[in-house]
Structure 1
């Protein structure tokens, strides 16, 4: 389960296409973390397979949340389009009757 605000923060990292900081890495930028790892440091999130599994699960939750948000927006736009078409059809019928 994600903490409040965690999903939004993770979404921001995903949108930027950068590595999501793990516990112990908070306060460092993704670039700094990658630099430390390239120098040979083992960062807290990279050390344990279980931690990696948790990170992947949370990222997958984010992607599915992003997909759900995109689908909801698409459905909303389609509903608005149908309503506009219905209103236009009704207006046209009214104007034809008069």
Structure 2
């Protein structure tokens, strides 16, 4: 279903399996009433299904974005911690090497 929505095509309904979206559209333009087209309830279900596909894509995009943001924050924290450790160890190393240094 996601492929149909991404391509902007109508999702085939029961009874229309085997027909392409273009064929279904041509039949409807010719005046044929296709499966589900005559009932507003079916159209509501179709719209809800399409929205589920959109929300699934949005959820995937949001999850990817959140993962990248979390990775950036963790990288920054890791780098800050590394700098702090290097700075602290550097001061300790200087103090150990020169115990008579001016303070």
Q: 2:52 aligns with which of 48, 61, 72?
A: 61
Give the paired residue count.
89
What residue is the counterpart of 1:44 in the other structure? 35
Q: Is the 8 A contact 1:37 1:43 kept in 2?
A: yes
Measure, in 2, the Cα distance between the counterparts of 1:24 and 1:47: 14
Q: Shift of residue 22 of structure 1?
A: 1.0
Measure, in 2, the Cα distance between the counterparts of 1:40 and 1:17: 22
4+ long deviations beyond 4 Å: none
The unaligned stretches of length 5 or more in structure 1 are 1-9
- Which structure would you say has the larger Rg? 2
The unaligned stretches of length 5 or more in structure 2 are 91-103
What residue is the counterpart of 1:83 in the other structure? 74
- Measured on the aligned residues, the alpha-carbon RMSD in Å equals 1.6
Measure, in 1, the Cα distance between the counterparts of 2:33 and 2:25: 10
TM-score, with normalisation over the residues of structure 1?
A: 0.78
The structure richer in helix per residue is: 1
Q: Secondary structure at the match of 1:17?
A: coil
TM-score, with normalisation over the residues of structure 2?
A: 0.74
